[in-house]
Chains A and B, each alone.
Chain A
Amino acid sequence: MGNGTQVHIIIEPHDRFPDLLRDGYQITSPTCPSYNCIAWAADCNTIDWWPGYPGWPYHYWPNGTRNDDSEASFVEAFATLGYERCSDDKPEVGYEKVAVYAIGKNVKHMARQLPNGLWSSKLGHWVDIEHTLRGLEGQNYGYVIAILRRKTPRAGCKIS
């Protein structure tokens, strides 16, 4: 390949996450590199969220929180949006929930719950999908290790 030719590899989310086919899923947006799954869980679609050091302009992470990829770091970051741990992944009236996926101790993904009980995820910088919580579990994102909730309504993205 050369001369700037772009090759489009035709793959579908279920090629990477086979359990999506078992539970069913739906693509809800085209590919967009502007934001990642953590940003999407935080209701932000203009910049990536990921732990980084102060002064780093390429992605956002709340000031004053841990900046590693541990569960504690993500729980602290989402606490700045009003989220706290809970034990139930079922929808609750008056609350909105996010789920944290990890492989071992390393967080790999987050999803946010929709009012219908399904979950919405941005897959990296790829597409957004609606899916079941277990549909994304497996070798790529690991397993759900925490559910967080906060009272609605959402505060929305505060990043310019």
Chain B
Amino acid sequence: MPPVELRQELQNEKTSWRQRKGKGPNPPSYGPPGKENLGNKWGKTSGSVIAFKRKSKHPLRDTISETEEEFYRLVKEWRGATLISSSMTEIFMHPAYMRIIGLGKPAIRLLLRELQRSPNHWFWALHCITGADPIKSNEPVDFEKMTKAWLEWGMEHKYI
């Protein structure tokens, strides 16, 4: 089950989808085209709708949960593989780290949450995905200041 804020986001997305499509209070049907009105066999509700209710999830829910699952799998892989490495090249260029960057914008909230809960070297990944530069320095900045700068950026942009 996604955390509360993600559930809320899913609900909002679902509502806005319905609004965009001009749907009423009933959930949209993702059943095969032309089977929405199968007649009285299913009463007022088509078989497709019943199948949708039972089997399908909102597409965004699938996307978010899959991204989240993949994210934490990659974090685990990256941590294990780079635990004893001091090489920042190895750390930032590790395939799992690169794949986290490749997750794109859906990973921003996850990265910031991870940075908040268990600080680690997510600054480069955040910069690559967002293009933002809250550190605002061409000189090296200590770890705590970098963490603080990115968390403030996350709050400012409503990610956390």
Contacts and interface: CB of A to CB of B under 8 A. Distances in A.
A49 B137 CA distance: 17
Given A2-B68, A2-B72, A33-B143, A57 B137 contact: yes
Contacts of A153: none
A7 interface: yes
A4 B143 contact: no
Interface string B128-160: 000000010111111111100000000000000
B118 to A, nearest CB: 7
B84 A47 contact: no
A133 to B, nearest CB: 17
A160 B85 contact: no
Contact of A52 (B82, B84, B88, B114): B88
A65 to B, nearest CB: 14
Interface stretch (B16-24, B37-45, B119-127): B119-127
Contacts of B137: 57
Contact of A2 (B65, B87, B144): B65
Interface in B14-36: none
A6 B118 contact: yes
Contacts of B114: 4
Given A33-B119, A48-B88, A5 B140 contact: no
Interface of A: 1-7, 9, 11, 16, 33-38, 46-48, 50, 52, 54-60, 69, 108-110, 122-126, 140-141, 159-160
List the 4 closest A-B pairs by CB distance, nearest first.
A36-B86, A34-B143, A46-B142, A60-B140
Interface of B: 1-3, 65, 68-69, 72-73, 76, 80, 82-89, 92, 110, 113-114, 117-121, 123-124, 135, 137-146
28 contacts: A1-B72, A2-B68, A3-B2, A3-B68, A4-B3, A7-B76, A11-B83, A33-B121, A33-B143, A34-B142, A34-B143, A35-B143, A46-B142, A47-B140, A47-B143, A57-B138, A57-B140, A57-B146, A58-B92, A58-B140, A59-B140, A108-B87, A123-B83, A124-B82, A124-B86, A125-B83, A126-B83, A159-B142
